[in-house]
């Protein structure tokens, strides 16, 4: 795995003023895109929307029990990249994905791979909380039901309960499981969506700016939750907030106009960024 | 922590998922198939409907004629020899037709057989001869080969709508008549020609003489008036509601009313027309005028709703620009907004007119079902409209009317297609993205 | 009429010219408050509106006045012993005679004299009317001209008149509703004076043949509308059983599955069904489908009426398909993509997403659409008039012949009938029922649909 990685990670020292002069085009990623014992391995990923290239030759590993944060200015392709990881881009007309993305060694864009079981393994939480217009219980039970994960009502009840507990929502909703999920507050809705995702026991959880629609208190609760979930899942999170990336993640990847500019330990990225663009972004010169 | 006590079972999920996947995909395919089948079924209905009507109706655009050498006997037509048009018009042309038919088949002498022989040509044949004699008095005293309109049943037989193989008792036409016809056909005296009468005649009890000219004229007068009523009213109402109306309970009430009126059954408008326009205001019954009043009220909501949408799509910047150079609000609307919204409003008006064109139920209530042979000449003549004519013909038992009805439907659908096409083209031509 | 238009045109030109001269010539138009054209319009409106109002008023009362005069001039012995309706007939004869058409009864000298008198009065009235109207127009014009000064705010005045006119236009909708309600309620009240509402709404026998003459032996007529209601419901039910599944599934397929080019062809083609006049459907039901159904039924050994509820219902269902499908299409498209994404992200298949997330989310809107469709089915007339029967059977058998409210309205009102007999009035009572039921359905449905839209906006 690491040999492949070193082939793809090209001459990182070459990024320089010359590149920046050419409109910030970056010819390679700085930093180590690999991680020991990865869950997902992406190499040379290109994504087009019609004729427009949204992701250019991105490689990144997503490791077990860690949170990878993806940061970058708006429109830099971080959400697009995230949506490639469970093939949510399939639902978008004219979106084309090229390159290699593997889950536990299995190529997910292989023709034989079916997005349905893939998405059961790679769950996703969206920017805006999107509970189904059903009861809280039904929201969580939805995934297990469609996949037939439980054999009895009692089992399903237990699964709903543990999922809600893991999402830290149980105590708040245990008395009103039959009320509509849309009636909860924004933060509760987002935790409901996380509980819904956990209920199918995925291996990787993708989060697309999960706190951008929430207030600071709800954000803090979710961030805490993400930290707890790390013990069981591999997590990739797209965020607009650098503070959030610094708080919840172990590794950080900086995207710029479809390029993955720099990857590294979160501490290192925030304290000692290698690339000018990363530094400018982190110090708030743009973005 | 609670989470730590949970046995890690990532394999479990994917295995279970994979196990049931086949079943789920079968269900997926079934569902998808049902959707496709529903669309296919809908399209099939369209196809069947059009095919059925076309197959039933296209033959009506042709009419069977029988060539008969007619001796314009001066003794019958103009015994006085005056060539006075009045005398010519009043002459007994039926006798001329009968004599000509007898001459064609000298061997037919028995009374009942003769009656069959006369019945081969239409009851309109004498009128054909009359108009010939009136137009060219020179034919009197000569023998001319004239293509006489064949009777309805003969027409049906020639077109293959009547089955020769059926036993005689189940057939509308007798064996002996068929024999006569076959002799005529062998002489080349039977021919199908384009049916101009269908477009120039009023209705008739005889299918071979019935035409849609009266209904078309009635439709024309009615629609013109409908447009005159509903267009200015509709545009005025839309302008007011969209641009000037204060937001209050009255305008709310108007709004709810308009939406409701668009969904009120058309027959209720007929009741309104009968009770209010005819019985209360004394508008003459059965006329395009009262029909247009009713249809105008029915199309009003359509035009208002379409016009409001069109007005809404004009960006506020246009209004601000006009107001900014000192135009009054009304000048802004009439000089700038309305012209820009006009294509949309016209589209709405055409669609409204297309709906009015197809409407028949309320017109039954206000007496536009009278049997009117003459082509109406104005807005206050008794008239009928095309859809109602279709309804009336559909009720007639003669086989020939099935064909005529279908043909009339084809004409009606043709107009509807044209109008909708015009609406689509108008929309395309003037579509503007702001 | 033309003269009136001419006066208005004259008023326009005169007003315009006066405005220019009052300002001191064409070069000094800017001293006017409004453009000269507005002074012209102002004058034209002053000439036209009062004159038109007068004309309308006159036409409204002329007939009454003239008829009254003729009646009072009729010799007393002619009037003696005439009931009101006979008097009406007599006057009708007079009018017909005066206008030169054929008269039903015998023409006595008295009637002939009355007719001459009537024609004379009529002519007199017409002359007087046009004279007065033109006088009003000219004086209106003169008044407006007199008021034309450079400081007069002609534009504002014209505009406020136009505004008023537009306000009246928009009020037509309410007037129409009011007209509908008044006309059906008024006649229905008369009907319920003759027939108790209880009998009408609960009776199960419908046979509206009242005796035409008092000495006729025919039955007094029965007005129990229950068989009509059940017949309407039966046919509507069959129609909905066809239209809802097909329309809904077609909408789902077209909005969720179909590739764009299929959608762009199939959707307008399906909507063709909505544009076909109902009389065409009626013809198709009566002449094509009904015989087919009959033949199939007979080959299965079933008794099928030639005007079965099934034929009418099926065709009505076909007609309503595009209605259901386009309304469902709208509401399905209004379900946010985020809902679908949430479901897909959990590993749901497309059909699972549609059935368990999209449809439940769209349900209120779909229900609203279906209610609108039901109201269409109940009020649909031509199909049932042509394809359903006239016999009021109380049955739930789709192969039997039933009749509907709309069929009966048409049948009761298209025959030659006296206007205030129970039979014709019954049509208005049925119309009232129909109007109220569809009104309630529409209001509920429109409310549901609007609430639903707001939810996702």
Contact C286 B402 (CB under 8 A): no
Q: How far is A147 from chain B (nearest CA, A)?
A: 5
Among all residues of chain C, which has the CA nearest to that of A89? C341
Under 8 Å between Cβ of C396 and C343: no
Tens-place pLDDT, residues C162-172: 888 888 888 88
Residue among A143, A201, A229 with most chain B CBs within 10 A, to mutate: A201
- Confidence check: pLDDT of C422 > 50: yes
Q: Where are the domains of chain B?
A: 59-91+101-195, 213-430
At C420, is the pLDDT very low, low, confident or very high (cuts 50, 70, 90)?
low
**Ordered alpha helix ranges (H), C219-308:** 226-252, 260-275, 278-284, 290-299
Contact C414 B233 (CB under 8 A): no
Domain at B213-430: CATH code? 1.10.3720.10
C434 vs B contacts (CB less than 8 Å): 265, 267-268
Tokens of C424: 């014709």
Under 8 Å between Cβ of A102 and A65: no
C357 vs A contacts (CB less than 8 Å): 132, 142
The values of phi and psi at residue C114, to 5°, are -60, -40
pLDDT of C292: 92
- How far apart are alpha carbons B303 and B351 in whole angstroms? 8
At C84, is the pLDDT very low, low, confident or very high (cuts 50, 70, 90)?
low
Mean pLDDT of the C293-311 span: 88
Which domains are assigned to chain C?
A: 2-152 (no CATH), 222-456 (1.10.3720.10)
Tens-place pLDDT, residues A224-266: 999 989 988 999 999 988 889 999 999 999 998 888 889 999 9
pLDDT of A27: 53
- Does A231 lie at the interface with B, CB-CB under 8 angstroms? yes
Higher pLDDT, A16 or B406: B406
- Confidence check: pLDDT of A91 > 50: yes
Among all residues of chain B, which has the CA nearest to that of C444? B260
- How far apart are alpha carbons A152 and A157 in whole angstroms? 9
CA C240 to chain centroid, in Å, comes to 24
pLDDT of A25: 43
Under 8 Å between Cβ of B203 and B268: no
- Confidence check: pLDDT of A15 > 70: no
Query: How many Cα neighbours within 13 Å face the side chain of C219?
Result: 9
Residues B158/B163/B168/B170 CA torsion (nearest 10 deg): -120
B409 vs C contacts (CB less than 8 Å): 279-280, 283
Percent of chain C with pLDDT over 90: 28
- Does A131 lie at the interface with C, CB-CB under 8 angstroms? yes
Mean pLDDT of the C105-114 span: 70
Contact C253 B38 (CB under 8 A): yes
Under 8 Å between Cβ of B153 and B208: no
Contact B358 C275 (CB under 8 A): yes
Residue among A105, A120, A205 with most chain B CBs within 10 A, to mutate: A120
Q: How far is A206 from chain C (nearest CA, A)?
A: 10
Contact C381 B36 (CB under 8 A): no
Cα angle C75, C79, C85; round to 5: 145
Under 8 Å between Cβ of C219 and C291: no
Contact A149 B10 (CB under 8 A): no
- Confidence check: pLDDT of C7 > 90: no
Lowest-pLDDT range of A27-31, B54-58, C91-95, C214-218 = C214-218
Q: How far is C346 from chain A (nearest CA, A)?
A: 5
- How far apart are alpha carbons C342 and C453 in whole angstroms? 21
- Does A70 lie at the interface with B, CB-CB under 8 angstroms? no
Under 8 Å between Cβ of B103 and B94: no
- Confidence check: pLDDT of A184 > 50: yes
Tens-place pLDDT, residues C358-376: 999 999 889 999 999 999 9
At B108, is the pLDDT very low, low, confident or very high (cuts 50, 70, 90)?
confident
Tokens of B149: 């309109």
pLDDT of B406: 93
Tens-place pLDDT, residues C9-36: 877 877 777 777 777 766 677 777 777 7
Mean pLDDT of the A272-284 span: 87
CB-closest option in C272, C350, C379 to B28: C350
The one-character DSSP state at A237 is E
Mean pLDDT of the C293-314 span: 89
Contact C345 A86 (CB under 8 A): yes
Contacts of B118 (CB under 8 A, 6+ apart): B97, B98, B101
The subunits that touch chain C, with at least 3 C-beta pairs less than 8 Å apart, are A, B
- Does C256 lie at the interface with A, CB-CB under 8 angstroms? no
B1 vs A contacts (CB less than 8 Å): 228, 231
At B196, is the pLDDT very low, low, confident or very high (cuts 50, 70, 90)?
confident
Query: What is the helix (H) or strand (E) element at residue A205, kind and residue range?
Result: strand A204-208
Q: Interhelix angle for C422-456 vs C309-334, to 10°?
A: 20
pLDDT of C11: 78
Cα angle C194, C197, C200; round to 5: 90
CB-closest option in C339, C341, C360 to A88: C341
Which A residues, 188 through 217, put their C-beta within 8 Å of a C-beta on chain B?
200-203
Contact A116 C348 (CB under 8 A): yes
Contacts of C96 (CB under 8 A, 6+ apart): C102, C103
- How far apart are alpha carbons C272 and C293 in whole angstroms? 25
- Confidence check: pLDDT of A287 > 60: no
Mean pLDDT of the A192-207 span: 92
- Does A148 lie at the interface with C, CB-CB under 8 angstroms? no
Under 8 Å between Cβ of C16 and C39: yes
- 3-class SS of residue C225: coil
Q: What is the mean pLDDT of chain C?
A: 83
Task: List residues of B whose CB lies inside 8 A of any A CB.
Answer: 1-4, 6, 8-10, 12-14, 16-21, 24
Contact B10 A117 (CB under 8 A): no
B27 vs A contacts (CB less than 8 Å): none
- Confidence check: pLDDT of A11 > 50: no
The gap between the terminal CA atoms of chain C, to the nearest Å, is 53
Contact C345 A88 (CB under 8 A): yes
ipTM of the complex: 0.88
Neighbours of C270 (CB within 10 A): 25
The one-character DSSP state at B78 is -
| Of C63-67, C157-161, C427-431, highest mean pLDDT | C427-431
Tokens of C365: 């809107």
Among all residues of chain C, which has the CA nearest to that of A140? C346
Mean pLDDT of the C55-62 span: 78
Model confidence pTM above 0.80: yes
- Confidence check: pLDDT of C237 > 90: yes
Which A residues, 133 through 162, put their C-beta within 8 Å of a C-beta on chain B?
146-149, 162
pLDDT of B434: 59
Contact B240 C159 (CB under 8 A): no
Mean pLDDT of the A114-132 span: 90
Contact B13 A147 (CB under 8 A): yes
- Confidence check: pLDDT of A158 > 90: yes
Lowest-pLDDT range of B193-202, B262-271, C139-148, C324-333 = C139-148
Neighbours of A235 (CB within 10 A): 26
CA distance to B395, C287, C324, C381, per residue, from B362 (Å): 18, 23, 24, 9
Q: How far is C334 from chain A (nearest CA, A)?
A: 14
CB contacts < 8 A, A to B, total 45
Closest C-alpha among C239, C268, C288 to residue C329: C268
Residue among A80, A132, A210 with most chain C CBs within 10 A, to mutate: A132
- The residues that bridge with C176 in the sheet, in sequence order, are none
Contact A201 B12 (CB under 8 A): yes
pLDDT of B400: 84
The values of phi and psi at residue B30, to 5°, are -60, -45
The values of phi and psi at residue A140, to 5°, are -75, -35
Tokens of C75: 């010799």
Tens-place pLDDT, residues C251-282: 999 999 999 899 989 988 998 898 899 999 99
Closest C-alpha among A122, A76, A105 to residue A1: A105
Question: Parallel, antiparallel, or unpaired for β A67-71 and A234-238?
Answer: parallel
- Confidence check: pLDDT of A10 > 50: no
């Amino acid at each position: 795995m690491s040999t492949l990685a070193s082939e793809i990670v090209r001459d990182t020292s070459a990024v320089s003023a010359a590149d920046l002069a050419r409109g910030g085009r970056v010819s390679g990623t700085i930093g180590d895109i690999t991680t020991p014992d990865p869950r997902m391995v992406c190499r040379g990923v290109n994504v087009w929307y019609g004729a427009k290239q949204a992701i250019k030759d991105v490689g990144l590993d997503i490791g077990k029990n860690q949170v990878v944060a993806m940061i970058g200015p708006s429109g830099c392709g971080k959400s697009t990249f995230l949506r490639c990881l469970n093939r949510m881009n399939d639902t978008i007309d004219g979106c084309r994905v090229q390159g290699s993305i593997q889950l536990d060694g299995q190529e997910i864009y292989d023709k034989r791979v079916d997005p349905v079981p893939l998405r059961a393994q790679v769950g996703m939480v969206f920017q805006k909380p999107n509970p189904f217009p059903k009861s809280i219980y039904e929201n969580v039970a939805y995934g297990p039901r469609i996949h037939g994960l439980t054999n009895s009502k009692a089992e399903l009840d237990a699964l709903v309960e543990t999922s809600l507990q893991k999402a830290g929502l149980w105590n708040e909703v245990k008395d009103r499981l039959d009320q509509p999920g849309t009636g909860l507050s924004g933060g509760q809705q987002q935790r409901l969506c996380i509980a819904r995702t956990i209920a199918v026991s995925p291996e990787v959880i993708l989060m697309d700016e999960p706190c951008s629609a929430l207030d600071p208190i709800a954000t803090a609760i979710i961030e805490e939750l993400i930290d707890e979930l790390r013990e069981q899942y591999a997590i990739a999170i797209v965020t607009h907030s650098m503070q959030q990336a610094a708080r919840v993640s172990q590794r950080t990847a900086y995207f710029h106009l479809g390029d993955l500019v720099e990857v590294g330990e979160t501490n290192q990225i925030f304290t000692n960024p290698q690339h000018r663009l990363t530094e400018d972004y982190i110090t708030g010169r743009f973005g | 922590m609670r989470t730590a006590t949970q046995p890690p079972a990532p394999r479990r999920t994917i295995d279970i998922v994979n196990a049931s996947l086949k079943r789920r995909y079968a269900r997926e395919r079934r569902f998808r198939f049902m959707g496709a089948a529903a669309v296919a079924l809908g399209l099939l209905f369209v196809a069947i409907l059009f095919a059925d009507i076309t197959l039933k109706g296209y033959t009506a655009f042709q009419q069977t004629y029988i060539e008969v050498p007619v001796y314009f006997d001066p003794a019958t037509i103009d015994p006085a020899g005056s060539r006075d048009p009045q005398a010519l018009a009043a002459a007994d042309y039926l006798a001329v037709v009968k004599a000509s038919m007898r001459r064609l088949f000298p061997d037919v002498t028995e009374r009942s057989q003769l009656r069959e022989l006369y019945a081969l040509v239409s009851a309109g044949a004498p009128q054909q001869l009359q108009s010939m004699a009136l137009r060219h008095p020179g034919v009197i005293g000569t023998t001319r080969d004239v293509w006489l309109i064949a009777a309805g049943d003969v027409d049906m037989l020639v077109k293959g709508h009547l089955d020769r193989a059926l036993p005689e008792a189940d057939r509308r036409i007798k064996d002996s008549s068929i024999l006569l016809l076959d002799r005529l056909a062998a002489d080349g005296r039977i021919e199908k020609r384009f049916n101009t009468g269908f477009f120039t005649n009023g209705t008739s009890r005889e299918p071979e003489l019935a035409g849609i000219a009266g209904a078309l004229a009635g439709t024309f007068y009615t629609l013109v008036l409908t447009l005159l009523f509903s267009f200015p009213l509709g545009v005025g109402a839309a302008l007011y509601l969209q641009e000037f109306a204060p937001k209050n309970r009255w305008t709310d009430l108007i709004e709810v009313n308009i939406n409701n009126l668009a969904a009120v059954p058309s027959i209720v408008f007929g009741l309104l027309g009968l009770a209010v326009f005819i019985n209360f205001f004394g508008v003459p019954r059965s006329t395009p005028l009262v029909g247009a009043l009713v249809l105008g009220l029915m199309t009003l909501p359509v035009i208002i709703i379409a016009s409001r949408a069109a007005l809404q799509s004009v960006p506020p910047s246009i209004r601000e620009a006009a107001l900014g150079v000192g135009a009054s609000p009304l000048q802004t609307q009439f000089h700038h907004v309305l012209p820009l919204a006009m294509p949309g409003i016209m589209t709405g008006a055409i669609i409204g007119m297309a709906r009015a064109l197809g409407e028949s139920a309320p017109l039954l209530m206000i007496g536009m079902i009278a049997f009117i042979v003459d082509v109406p000449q104005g807005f206050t003549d008794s008239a009928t409209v095309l859809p109602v004519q279709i309804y009336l013909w559909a009720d007639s038992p003669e086989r020939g009317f099935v064909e005529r009805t279908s043909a009339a439907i084809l004409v009606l659908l043709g107009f509807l297609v044209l109008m909708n096409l015009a609406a689509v083209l108008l929309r395309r031509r003037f579509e503007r993205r702001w | 009429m033309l003269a009136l238009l001419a006066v208005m045109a004259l008023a326009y030109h005169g007003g315009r010219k006066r405005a220019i001269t009052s300002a001191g010539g064409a070069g000094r138009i800017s001293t006017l408050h409004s453009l000269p054209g507005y002074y012209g319009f102002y004058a034209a409106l002053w000439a036209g509106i009062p004159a038109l109002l007068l004309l309308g008023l006159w036409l409204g009362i002329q007939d009454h006045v003239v008829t009254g005069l003729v009646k009072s001039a009729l010799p007393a012995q002619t009037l003696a012993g005439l009931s009101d309706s006979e008097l009406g007939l007599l006057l009708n004869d007079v009018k017909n005679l005066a206008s030169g058409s054929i008269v039903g009864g015998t023409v006595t000298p008295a009637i002939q004299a009355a007719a001459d008198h009537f024609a004379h009065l009529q002519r007199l009235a017409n002359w007087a009317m046009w004279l007065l109207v033109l006088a009003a127009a000219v004086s209106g014009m003169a008044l407006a001209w007199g008021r034309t000064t450079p400081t007069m705010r002609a534009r504002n005045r014209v505009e406020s008149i136009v505004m008023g006119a537009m306000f009246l236009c928009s009020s037509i909708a309410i007037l129409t509703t009011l007209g509908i309600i008044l006309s059906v309620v008024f006649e229905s009240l008369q009907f319920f004076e003759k027939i108790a509402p209880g009998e009408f709404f609960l009776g199960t026998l419908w046979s509206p043949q009242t005796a035409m003459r008092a000495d006729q032996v025919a039955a007094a007529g029965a007005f129990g509308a229950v068989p009509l209601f059940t017949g309407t419901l039966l046919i509507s039910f069959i129609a909905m059983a066809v239209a809802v599944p097909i329309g809904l599934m077609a909408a789902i397929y077209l909005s969720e599955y179909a590739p764009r080019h299929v959608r762009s062809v199939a959707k307008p083609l399906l909507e063709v069904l909505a544009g076909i006049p109902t009389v065409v459907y009626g013809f198709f039901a009566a002449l094509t489908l009904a015989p087919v159904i009959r033949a199939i039924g007979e080959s299965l050994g079933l008794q099928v009426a030639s005007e079965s509820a099934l034929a009418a219902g099926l065709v009505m269902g076909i007609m309503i398909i595009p209605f259901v499908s386009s309304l469902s299409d709208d509401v399905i498209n209004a379900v946010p993509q985020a809902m679908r994404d949430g479901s897909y992200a959990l590993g749901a298949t497309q059909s699972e997403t549609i059935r368990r997330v999209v449809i439940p989310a769209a349900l209120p809107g779909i229900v609203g659409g279906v209610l609108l469709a039901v109201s269409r089915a109940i009020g649909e007339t031509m199909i049932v008039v042509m394809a359903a029967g006239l016999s009021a059977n109380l049955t739930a058998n789709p192969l039997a012949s039933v009749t509907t409210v709309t069929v009966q309205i048409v049948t009761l009102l298209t025959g030659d009938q006296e206007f205030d007999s129970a039979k014709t009035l019954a049509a208005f009572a049925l119309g009232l029922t129909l109007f109220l039921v569809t009104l309630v359905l529409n209001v509920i449905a429109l409310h549901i649909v609007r609430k639903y839209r707001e939810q996702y906006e």
